[in-house]
Homo-oligomer: A and B are copies of this chain.
Amino acid sequence: MIPVSEFFPIWNSLSAAQKQRLEGAAVKKYAPAGTLLHNGSDDCMGLLLIASGQLRIYTTSDDGREITLYRLLERDICLFSASCMLHSVQFELQVSAERDTEFWLISSEAYGTIMKESAPLANFTNSIMASRFTEVMWLMDQLLWKRMDQRIAKFLLEEAALDDSNTLRLTHEAIANHLGTAREVVTRMLKYFQSEGAVKLSRGTIEILDSERLERMSE
């Protein structure tokens, strides 16, 4: 498994004692695909350092609709599963494993204590938050100014890149939950994409036939 030190580009700016405390606090964990790892303010498990796998960070409406905010992959750090550590974070996210995921878990207390005394760790944490803020602002831009056909086309291309395959095992419902829209909207759009020869729909899968065409549709 990727060692804890490799997650922190500022590792050499930490004192020997701080390094030891961070490593000592890290616990190896495994979550099979589908596990809900963090659910809003109900829990504050700590930081997740992703050694392998894929996490989905999303938010839900009162009536259960969902939208994906971003994904975290190998070598990423999930910060908002330790949001109790950041008192000014007053919003709720869900974190689930999209693939079988191995990670180090560092408790919010341990991390928060070291961050309080280490400027390098505090600044690094700041840069993680800024990266996530950037992802959310990108999504906001999409929501505000892009049409749903462009968003669905872009989503299919991203999924194909993540999976390294042109055959996607995704229900229309799942796509709707990623994009914060209704299943009917997704179904209608996919049928249109199929009529244009960009995809082929089968039971439970979507095959990308013409990714250049999909690329143009996403613009």
Interface residues of A (CB under 8 A from B): 59, 61-62, 65, 67, 86-91, 115-119, 121-123, 125-134, 136-141, 143-145, 180
Main secondary structure of the interface of A (DSSP, over half): helix
A115 to B124, CA, bound (A): 11
What number of copies of this chain does the assembly contain? 2
On whether A129 and B126 interact (CB within 8 A), knowing A59-B140, A89-B134, A119-B115, the answer reads yes
16 new A-B contacts, CB < 8 A, other than A88-B131, A136-B136, are A61-B145, A62-B145, A65-B144, A88-B128, A88-B130, A88-B134, A115-B123, A116-B119, A116-B123, A117-B119, A119-B119, A119-B122, A136-B140, A139-B140, A140-B140, A140-B143
CA distance A62 to B144 in the complex (A): 11
